[in-house]
Structure 1
Amino acid sequence: MAEKLKLYYFDGRGKMESIRWLLAAAGVEFEEEFLETREQYEKLLQGGSLLFQQVPMVEIDGMKMVQTRAILSYIAAKYNLYGKDLKERALGKGASVFRGRLAVISSRIDTYVGGTDDLMGFILMFPFLSAEDKEKQRAVIVQKATSRYFPAYEKVLKDHGQDFLVGNNFSWADVHLLEAILMVEEKKSDVLSGFPQLQAFKARISSIPTIKRFLEPGSQRKPVPDDKYVETVRRVLCMYYDIKAN
């Protein structure tokens, strides 16, 4: 039996949550070590595992990987969420065609993931804001989602008329967008009311068996960050400065 992947982070969402989502979508089991004390974090630092002195860190295939985007890219490629099906269909059309089409698909996936990352950036530090700043940031998140990001994805889905964002195959881009949609809905429950394509997309992706399991109670999906999570992160990272809204 293959050894389970191991994730090192806090017992909460943060930058690790997208990694949990992608692993869950791929049907890959993983273990977690939650950082609860400064001593745990310093042990990782002293062991030389954290290249840039930051978590998340994931043990996978004999490596201790850091940097969220690098981890996600590796997982997406390893578990065929980076355009593999299109690659297989292109094999019979010559190496140059294969490389060109695969590059286009990968580029589109990267583009959509990057856009979703930009939206998530407005949400990531939300738990660490003051009550006053949270209300301001909530409005910013909803405004950015409904005026910039959701209209773009609505158009993509409408224009190509397919079930998924890229190549009509389930990919990392779909997983990432669903995660973002659900996070924005936590800030405004009817945020998709003007986006019928995204409403249908949400229903489709949520019904994929591996995603459906991850959305059920008792999974390794983390809840909305609470005060305990915020206090733990601040204590472990000695992060006592104030964070301002965007």
Structure 2
Amino acid sequence: MDTHDLDWIRVGHINDLPEGRVKTVTARTTSVCLSHFDGRWAAMDNHCPHQRGPLGEGSIEKGSDGKCWIRCPWHGWDFDPLTGAPPGGHEDSGQKLYPLKIEDGEIFVGLKAEPAHERTVTDVMTETMVNWGVKRVFGMVGHSNLGLADAIRRQVNRGKLGYVGIRHEGAAAFAASAYGKLTGKPAACLTIAGPGATNLLTGLWDAKVDRAPVLALTGQVQTQVFGPGAFQDIDLKSAFDAVSRFSQPVLATSNHAELMSLALKT
């Protein structure tokens, strides 16, 4: 493979992974098993071909043949920690390997360059967030916020935003509230439509009571099903009225940069 045409994605530092260990890392949206064995490093497809078990959550174990293998934590399938080959198999019959390099102690995995991106509404919104000084997003990704989540991912890859994934939307609101109290500047909390959005309310009340700035970003159902009671159709403007100083749905015909600017200005 011609490594000159690759994007090199930083996935960690050599001090993050001791000799004889493996871990899961993410390069863009690709899940990678990073291994450090016998003084060498390798990056391979993280999904075991059996039932897609996460190899990076496994361990390097000595087999009955005396050789060391990465052992899948789900069902015990083995792979060579440097070549990805299974026992008795050729190197090209096992896990896909990704190019890897180390520079100044930083570990990089090489991926094919992404195709040219067409700028979207959500790109305009996230660029406006960055221009207003937003540094952190606490969120959960789901079907109704995928476009915005992908735009945030691009800003994270450029080093413009930090993203923290959470396991409950209420935690995102409380984290953003705490951030506002400590810094005086807004962080964003990201959720899907409907119940994902309303889970923010307790944390947003916390922010309101303590007058902490928070930017809440939620998904919404498609405009053609506003009102009739479709799946996850909730009147979010009314739901958030008691805790918000500015609340506005974003539509295809909106002035997206102006709406984001007004939200942050308010």
By percentage of residues, which structure has more strand? 2
- TM-score where L is the length of structure 1: 0.25
Whichever of the two has the greater Rg, that structure is 2
